[in-house]
Amino acid sequence: MTEPLKAKLVAMLAVVYPERECEPLADQLLTTMGLDADHPSPPAHQNNWDQSDVILITYADSLQKAGQKPLVTLREFLNQRLSETVSAVHILPFFPYSSDDGFSVMDYLAVNESHGDWEDIEAIAGDFKLMADLVINHMSARSRWFENFRKRIDPGRDYFFEGNPRDDLSAVVRPRTSPLLTPVQTDDGERHVWCTFSEDQVDLNFANPQVLIEFAGIIRYYLERGVSLFRLDAVAFLWKEPGTPCIHLQQTHELIKILRLLIEHHSPDAVVITETNVPNRENLTYFGNANEAHVIYNFSLPPLLINTLVTGDCRHLKTWLMSMPPAQMGTTYLNFIASHDGVGMRPTDGLLSEDEKQRLINTMDSFGGKVSYRRTSDGRDQPYEINIALFDALKGTAQAGADHFQLQRFLCAHTVMLALEGIPAFYIHSLLATENDHERVENTGRLRSINRSQWSVDSLDQALQDPRSHHAQAFEELKRLIAIRRKQAAFHPNATQFTLHLGLQVFGFWRQSTRRDQSIFCIHNISDQTQQIALSDINLIGTDHWQDLISGMTIDDLSGSITLKPYQSVWLSNRE
């Protein structure tokens, strides 16, 4: 018999709060979420996705139109140009904020009035699955909660994590070079608040269970407004204990289990996604035993795929792919190559050598990129991420510099991503092949602004209507590839995947549908030289009819070979 919801919740809470009475706390959480103690559990290992799922990642105001709120503009663009292309939209934090382009939230329950309102959000959620950020690790120093912290009144007095400058905090894993503790004046004297990311982003104190209850209320509000995918931002840092690394602690994992339990009991089709920009082995732990994240970001994919395409050598990408465990049913990966943040370097730990990392950094620098740093426990500054637009990251090779294969290399990267196990996600500036925005970096003083451009809709329409424009060429071809992908059972996010061994210049893998009625061999020339592949090396079944889904080419002679131009890809399928 299935264990009642309340009993499960009490057991999880006891891990996080062993010295508290957890039954009343469980009751408060269930009441806040509108759930009964014996609410029926959703089906186990249920896939809330299929091969038709493709996510667009965008800021609320990435598209601008004079006299119109950006959320209205975004919805028009989605419905006019992407209604048959994407199934879900991740709108990056659309709340009132004080810094970090939205990730320093001032009010979790309001929409930034410069973007639009909740009706605009709900309208988009009515047309597409909606993914929103639960910015759960920290909150703005200008929020009402933090003002109450300063005044020592509720709600907020004990909502933020405080540190002691005399404690040994050298083991704490840092994603930034800024000070960890920030002194603030309060009505009862100076206190030092914990700031993992910046002094304007003050870490919340989940050791106070009232903070957890507050977030349960926030989650329910989002669900009622149409949000069905929850991105837990920076969740790896959630629980702090001085003397430890303060990342990936047991309480953090248990809190994710609690949030998932509440979310999926409220809405069985909802999905929890963890954002943990860390080395691959650490990232994989956020699946738990299929009871934490439904979906985890494949953070190693962007740097490894970019490195593969600029070096013309796929050995590291192939080694990584062979090491990736198949996701259990009910869980999967989120595949992306670019996002609003930079290309993370920590996910390459253990995958690229220090010399290879530096070579990648140097290559990106030559293509106009920048580097952001983090501070290690021994006080050294290490590269944390490369800030660059994906289109410019692929403008040439490490050996020869910029060349005339930029568009082909860019399309090859996305063809790889679209075929891999997991759900593909496109950052809007990759879908549009936007270049580095150096002017925006100068205006904001923030390196990440290089890939956070804002398009005038009039300028974008003009670019997308010009067949000579690389924006139009990339946009139309990516839409075509996505349309092909969405029809293939072998591209289901949980379909079988095996790595092929076709040399260092050809990256390949095989996908098979769960019913075993479709196989697709995904083969990519990742070099700037023509490659010849013997069909006998691919092991196509002779009794099947094989066709390249991308070009329409048919395979008539299995004893022959195929020729791939620089950065050309084929999806050889036994079903049209």
Residue from 197, 123, 90 nearest 431 by CA: 90
Number of H helices and E strands in the chain, helices first, is 17, 27
Catalytic residue (one of 100, 133, 203, 233): 233
Phi, psi of 572 (to 5 degrees): -85, 115
Checking 502-507 for CB contacts under 8 A at 24+ apart, the result is 502/533, 502/537, 502/538, 503/531, 504/312, 504/313, 504/314, 504/315, 505/312, 505/313, 505/314, 505/529, 505/531, 506/314, 506/531, 506/533, 506/564, 507/308, 507/314, 507/317, 507/318, 507/416
Q: Any alpha helices (H) in 401-502, and if so which ranges?
A: 406-419, 428-431, 438-444, 457-464, 470-485
Q: Is 233 labeled as catalytic in the residue annotation?
A: yes
CA dist 412 → 7, 340, 402 (Å): 50, 21, 16
Phi, psi of 546 (to 5 degrees): -115, 135
Q: Supply the angle between the helices 470-485 and 406-419 in degrees, to the nearest 10.
A: 20
Beta strands of 259-314 (E only): which ranges?
271-274, 295-297
| Cβ neighbours of residue 324 closer than 8 Å, sequence gap 6 or more | 333, 421
CA distance 382 to 346: 9
CA distance 147 to 184: 11
Hey, what are 198's tokens? 């910046």
CA dist 473 → 135, 273, 407, 479, 480 (Å): 36, 32, 8, 10, 11
Query: E strand or H helix at 228, and its extent?
Result: strand 227-232
Any idea which residue has 């140009």 for tokens? 81
Residue from 78, 74, 148 nearest 106 by CA: 148
SS3 of residue 216 by DSSP: helix
Decide if 520 contacts 572 (C-beta within 8 A).
yes
Decide if 215 contacts 28 (C-beta within 8 A).
no
Q: How many CA atoms lie within 13 A of 237 on its CB side?
A: 24
Checking 113-117 for CB contacts under 8 A at 24+ apart, the result is 114/61, 114/69, 114/70, 115/60, 115/61, 115/69, 115/70, 115/71, 116/60, 116/69, 116/70, 116/71, 116/72, 117/69, 117/71
Q: How many CA atoms lie within 13 A of 401 on its CB side?
A: 2
Residues in the chain: 576
CA distance 76 to 60: 12
CA distance 550 to 416: 12
Hey, what are 130's tokens? 């909606």
SS3 of residue 358 by DSSP: helix
Residues acting as catalytic residues: 233
